[in-house]
């Protein structure tokens, strides 16, 4: 009876674990953050009176590949969770590192893109386009970096035997964060890359 009480206190009246509700609350606030940054970009980039414009700078084919890499990483995250839920620890480690690797490739692509922009004199203070673009995509890149670190820490926990099948919720919560990062990039890619360059 004491064990049942100990387990039950981790769940809210909704039937969901309090950690899952906490991550949903965090992601809701993140939606507001990215919504504000995207809206700022869409409002201010046409007001740039000097310097490069989105049409001149954005490389849609290149960024499409980066977007695809990030989307594939979501599939790898799903496979990592599924592997842990069925007790396949080797599979869990493979897919966790696969997800982290794909996220790292995305970050490498973003670093290359930023370097290219810098060489063409588009910087954070070049114009309103540069300011809002770097704030938005840089914020997203920071979120991807946090996700990669989280994934690597889960991989290390699994290697040490601290990620048993019963703790699959831990990976699920990380997965929710990672899927949010991917969905946020779909919105950014559509509204920031495709629309201004059209």
Q: How many CB atoms lie within 10 A of CB 5?
A: 8
Q: All domains of the chain, ordered by start, with CATH?
A: 2-197 (1.20.120.80)
Instruction: Determine which helix (DSSP H) or strand (DSSP E) holds 38, and give its type and residue range.
Output: helix 18-44
Q: Would you say residue 197 has pLDDT above 90?
A: no
Give the integer Cα–Cα distance in Å for 17 and 113: 40
pLDDT digits (tens, 9 = 90+) for 23-58: 999 999 999 999 999 999 889 888 877 777 777 788
pLDDT digits (tens, 9 = 90+) for 2-28: 444 444 456 655 657 778 889 999 999
Record the pTM. 0.88
Cα-based distances in Å from 183 to 34, 57, 75? 11, 23, 13
Given this model, what pLDDT does residue 14 score? 61
Give the integer Cα–Cα distance in Å for 67 and 189: 8
């Amino acid at each position: 009876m004491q064990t049942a009480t100990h387990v039950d206190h981790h769940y809210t009246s909704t039937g969901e674990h309090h950690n899952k509700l906490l991550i949903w609350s965090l992601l809701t606030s993140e939606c507001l953050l990215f919504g504000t940054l995207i809206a700022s970009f869409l409002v201010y980039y046409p007001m740039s009176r000097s310097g490069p414009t989105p049409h001149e700078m954005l490389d849609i084919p290149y960024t499409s590949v980066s977007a695809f890499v990030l989307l594939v990483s979501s599939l790898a995250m799903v496979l990592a969770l599924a592997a842990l839920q069925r007790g396949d620890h080797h599979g869990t480690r493979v897919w966790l590192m696969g997800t982290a690797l794909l996220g790292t490739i995305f970050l490498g692509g973003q670093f290359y893109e930023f370097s290219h922009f810098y060489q063409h004199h588009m910087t954070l203070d070049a114009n309103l386009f540069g300011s809002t673009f770097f704030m938005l995509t840089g914020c997203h890149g920071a979120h991807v970096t946090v996700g990669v670190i989280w994934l690597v820490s889960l991989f290390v926990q699994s290697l040490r035997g601290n990620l048993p099948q019963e703790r699959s919720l831990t990976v699920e919560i990380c997965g929710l964060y990672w899927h949010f990062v991917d969905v946020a990039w779909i919105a950014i890619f559509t509204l920031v890359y495709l629309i201004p360059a059209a």
